[in-house]
Structure 1
Amino acid sequence: MTISVEKTDDLEVATRLPSDAPLLRVRDLHVTFDSERGPVHAVRGVDFDLRRGETLAIVGESGSGKSTTALALTRMLPAAGRVTGGSVLLDGGAAGPLDLATASERDLRAVRGARIGMIFQDPMTSLNPYLSVKRQMTEVLEVHRGMSEDAATKAAIDLLDVVQIPEAKRRVNMFPHEFSGGMRQRVMIAMALLCEPELLIADEPTTALDVTVQAQILDLLGRLKRDTGMAIALITHDLGVIAGLADRVMVMYAGEIMERADVRPLFKSPQHPYTHGLLRSMPRLDEHRANRLQTIGGQPP
């Protein structure tokens, strides 16, 4: 058993967590953005658990709050955004959980890129165009693992091999613009995995990729999860992406959770009208081409 201490108004309550506690426990998460018209509540009361070796897909249309939820887990929100409530408890073993919602910047820097890896939404702009792939990858290992440049370079090349970058030893010295979109996404995955994170947050990892490369990336993520036992939080608006990768699904709209379920029951029998609408809006191979795609009226507030 491990002990965590949760603060109430003026009382500290010791809470016992079982040894098989989830890797990540999110409770009543709220995120607010300041705007000229006043505060915008982008995430409102989100709760979920994520266990080791599990993939949780967070789905919803654009503006539903799924990417904001992902960024809030490690407090990497834009300048106007802030976590205004709730807790994000990362299991710390015998030391007890670390609340990322209130942790110091020093503690967050120790977690980002080390225990939690992140694949950002756009591989075209997420890599620094002025630095070689080698420099961007080795810096992570030098900072978090204290590796020498030679050791870090070898580790970077090994991971580029794992994500199936051809001629990794030569291409590690290249710059981002010399890679295709799919290859850049593979580089991003390799960078996120450098420190063998316990949790990988993948924000729209297949955006702007053709269907062949998309399938390869999803297959790669599934294989890495099986090989390493890491947990994955997969952010996507594409329900087709989650069918073969996710264990559980959380459907969001307007910053709130509409439905959560294991992946197969959700596809077979969605319980919420919004989830049903999302599924109906997907093109199907067994439908007549003359049929119009179903749409969901309105837009998120």
Structure 2
Amino acid sequence: MSSPLLAVKQLTVSLNKGNKLLDDISFTVNHHQCLGIVGESGSGKSLTCKAIIGLLESYFSVTGQILFKPQNANLAFDLLKQNKKTLNQIRGSVISIILQHPMSAFDPLYCIGKQVVETLQAHLIINKNDAIAKTLAMIENIGLEKPKEIYKKYPHQLSGGMLQRIMIGMALMLEPELIIADEPTTALDSISQFYILKMLEKIKAKTTMIFISHDLGVIHHIADEIIVMNKGKIVESGSRDQIFYHPKHEYTRYLIDTRKQLLNKFNAVAYAKHLNSISETV
């Protein structure tokens, strides 16, 4: 049996005062698997992702192991023991992150194209002209019209959905072994969410992914395995079918029941509006 790409072991994150924000969590992510992490706000989902890629501020205390084993490596190495320079090399080219708010991923002072080109040159052996050509091709491939115009635009001139597509396209260009998608559809309108999920489905077929969300519908759609988090702990884990159709923990059942109630209310309101529109035409 092959080793997992990522093995998180007894990860605990505390504030300096001793308050545990993540409490002894452990899980694995196998190659070409999509792991969904679900839970309400404050459950520790995003904190887990920041710990994996080394983006926690210095006032956090972190213990445990985060073992990462790329395909070309003979042995796994602990991400928690790597220095800042090594982590900077790993982020982007080996592990990429797709953020909830794409505007925060780009510098407002520089045009989009320049930022993508600089990212490519920082992580790949590529000259500027080739990087520009690849960037223009990427913009076209993600479904945005007039790539040369998009290339010259600044972040504030593009919608959140467009920026999110560019961030995903940039991640794919670097061909990372692991992509962490942290609430990538939450801040978007429904149409943009649809296109982003379609893009992420294609990514899922090519690489390994951790998909973080509070939206059970999205998690059900994209994840193979799921862990449920509450108050910094993993309360349940299993396959998608196990979690959704045979939940064991009361918190998991609460999340599923809450989603059903919201859907029922939405359907009831939609049906009432439909009946009202019919009565007005009679």
Q: Same fold (TM over 0.5)?
A: yes
- Cα gap change, 1:61/1:154 in structure 2, threshold over 3 Å: closer, same or farther? same
**For the residues of structure 2 that align with 1:143 and 1:65, how far apart are their CA atoms?**
31
Q: Shift in Å at residue 163 of structure 1?
A: 2.1
Match of 1:298 in 2: none
The amino acid that maps onto 2:164 is Q
- Which secondary structure state, in structure 1, belongs to the residue aligned with residue 104 of structure 2? helix
Give yes or no for contact 2:66–2:78 (8 Å, CA) kept in 1.
yes
The amino acid that maps onto 1:133 is I
Q: Shift in Å at residue 139 of structure 1?
A: 1.2
Q: Shift in Å at residue 126 of structure 1?
A: 2.5
The amino acid that maps onto 2:7 is R
Q: Shift in Å at residue 216 of structure 1?
A: 1.4
For the pair 1:32 / 2:14, whether they are aligned, the reply is: yes
- Cα gap change, 1:124/1:106 in structure 2, threshold over 3 Å: closer, same or farther? closer
**For the residues of structure 2 that align with 1:75 and 1:145, how far apart are their CA atoms?**
21
Give yes or no for contact 2:100–2:187 (8 Å, CA) kept in 1.
no
Match of 1:250 in 2: 227
- Which secondary structure state, in structure 2, belongs to the residue aligned with residue 64 of structure 1? coil
- Percent identity, please: 35
Match of 2:208 in 1: 231
Q: Shift in Å at residue 191 of structure 1?
A: 2.4
- Which secondary structure state, in structure 1, belongs to the residue aligned with residue 21 of structure 2? strand
**For the residues of structure 1 that align with 2:59 and 2:137, how far apart are their CA atoms?**
39
The amino acid that maps onto 1:207 is T
Q: Shift in Å at residue 217 of structure 1?
A: 0.6
1:193-248 CA deviation, whole Å, 9 max, x = no partner? Answer: 2311010000000012112211211111011221xx21110111111111111101
Q: Shift in Å at residue 101 of structure 1?
A: 1.1
Q: Shift in Å at residue 23 of structure 1?
A: 0.9
**What is the aligned counterpart of 1:90 among 56, 60, 68?**
68
**For the residues of structure 2 that align with 1:137 and 1:94, how far apart are their CA atoms?**
28
Give yes or no for contact 1:140–1:194 (8 Å, CA) kept in 2.
no
For the pair 1:168 / 2:147, whether they are aligned, the reply is: yes
1:46-72 CA deviation, whole Å, 9 max, x = no partner? Answer: 111111211101110000001000010
More displaced, 212-221 or 281-290? 281-290
**What is the aligned counterpart of 1:179 among 154, 158, 161?**
158
Q: Shift in Å at residue 168 of structure 1?
A: 1.9
Q: 5+ residue gaps in structure 1?
A: 1-17, 291-301
More displaced, 24-33 or 66-75? 24-33
**For the residues of structure 2 that align with 1:192 and 1:39, how far apart are their CA atoms?**
36
For the pair 1:23 / 2:2, whether they are aligned, the reply is: no
Q: CA RMSD in A?
A: 1.7
Give yes or no for contact 2:108–2:156 (8 Å, CA) kept in 1.
yes
- Cα gap change, 1:79/1:194 in structure 2, threshold over 3 Å: closer, same or farther? farther
- Which secondary structure state, in structure 2, belongs to the residue aligned with residue 243 of structure 1? helix
Q: 5+ residue gaps in structure 2?
A: 270-282
**What is the aligned counterpart of 1:222 among 195, 201, 216?**
201
The amino acid that maps onto 1:243 is H
Q: Shift in Å at residue 82 of structure 1?
A: 3.8
**For the residues of structure 1 that align with 2:234 and 2:116, how far apart are their CA atoms?**
36
Q: Shift in Å at residue 149 of structure 1?
A: 1.1
1:89-123 CA deviation, whole Å, 9 max, x = no partner? Answer: 11144441121011122221121001101111211
**For the residues of structure 1 that align with 2:57 and 2:268, how far apart are their CA atoms?**
42
**What is the aligned counterpart of 2:110 among 127, 131, 144?**
131
**For the residues of structure 2 that align with 1:212 and 1:264, how far apart are their CA atoms?**
27
For the pair 1:240 / 2:217, whether they are aligned, the reply is: yes
**What is the aligned counterpart of 2:137 among 137, 158, 182?**
158
**For the residues of structure 1 that align with 2:152 and 2:266, how far apart are their CA atoms?**
48
Q: Shift in Å at residue 173 of structure 1?
A: 1.6
State the 4+ residue runs in structure 1 displaced beyond 4 angstroms: 285-288
Alignment of 1:16-95 (within 5 A): 20-34=2-16, 38-83=17-62, 85-92=63-70, 93-95=72-74
Q: Shift in Å at residue 136 of structure 1?
A: 1.2
Greater helix share, structure number: 2
Match of 2:279 in 1: none
The amino acid that maps onto 1:86 is G
Number of residue equivalences: 266
- Cα gap change, 1:154/1:203 in structure 2, threshold over 3 Å: closer, same or farther? same
- Which secondary structure state, in structure 2, belongs to the residue aligned with residue 131 of structure 1? coil
**For the residues of structure 2 that align with 1:94 and 1:53, how far apart are their CA atoms?**
16
Normalising by structure 2, we get a TM-score of 0.89
For the pair 1:111 / 2:90, whether they are aligned, the reply is: yes
**For the residues of structure 1 that align with 2:111 and 2:76, how far apart are their CA atoms?**
36
